[in-house]
C-alpha cells in the first residue's frame, strides 16, 4: 500500500484548498520571506500561465519561483543559463525553488592524457 504524500502534516488536497497566506505559514523561512515580499512581474506572468490550464510547457527564466501546490502536474521549462530544461512538477517539489531542479553548469570531463594534452606531452615519444 503506497503511503500518501504529506507536506508538514497536510495532504495535497488540503494544501490545494488552503489560502495563500495559510500555505505560506507552512513554508521554511527563506521561502516564506520571498513570498511575503510579493511576486516579481516575471513570476506573476508564469503563475498566470500556470492558472490558464494550458497543456503545453511554460518557458521561464524565473528560477527563484517557489513551487506551490497549484503547480503539481505541470511541465515548466526552466532556463539553465544556456538552454531550457524541462521540469515536471510533483508533490515532493513543494516548497523548493524551480532553480534547484535545473543544473547551471556542465560537469567537466577531462580527456585522457596524450599528444597535446599538456606542455609535458610534447616530450613523449610517438609510437
pTM greater than 0.85 (yes/no): no
Return the pLDDT at 3: 78
The ranges assigned to domains in the chain are: 9-103
- The answer to whether residue 109 scores a pLDDT higher than 90 is no
Q: Which CATH architecture has domain 9-103?
A: 2-Layer Sandwich (3.30)
Q: Is the pLDDT of residue 119 over 80?
A: no
CA-to-CA distance for 108 and 25, rounded, in angstroms? Answer: 41
pLDDT, tens digit, 9 for 90 and up, residues 41-88: 999 999 999 998 888 999 999 999 999 999 999 999 999 999 999 999
Q: What are the φ/ψ torsions at residue 90 (nearest 5 degrees)?
A: -125, 180
Cα separation, 113 vs 36, in Å, equals 53
Amino acid at each position: 500500500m503506497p503511503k500518501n504524500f504529506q507536506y508538514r502534516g497536510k495532504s495535497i488536497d488540503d494544501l490545494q484548498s488552503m489560502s495563500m497566506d495559510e500555505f505560506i505559514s507552512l513554508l521554511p523561512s527563506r521561502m516564506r520571506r520571498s513570498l511575503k515580499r510579493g511576486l516579481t512581474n516575471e513570476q506573476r506572468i508564469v503563475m498566470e500561465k500556470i492558472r490558464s490550464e494550458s497543456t503545453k510547457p511554460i518557458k521561464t527564466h524565473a528560477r527563484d519561483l517557489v513551487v506551490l501546490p497549484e503547480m503539481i502536474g505541470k511541465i515548466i521549462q526552466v532556463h539553465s543559463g544556456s538552454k531550457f530544461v524541462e521540469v515536471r512538477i510533483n508533490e515532493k517539489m513543494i516548497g523548493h525553488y524551480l532553480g534547484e531542479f535545473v543544473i547551471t553548469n556542465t560537469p567537466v570531463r577531462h580527456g585522457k592524457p596524450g599528444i597535446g594534452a599538456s606542455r609535458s606531452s610534447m616530450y613523449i615519444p610517438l609510437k
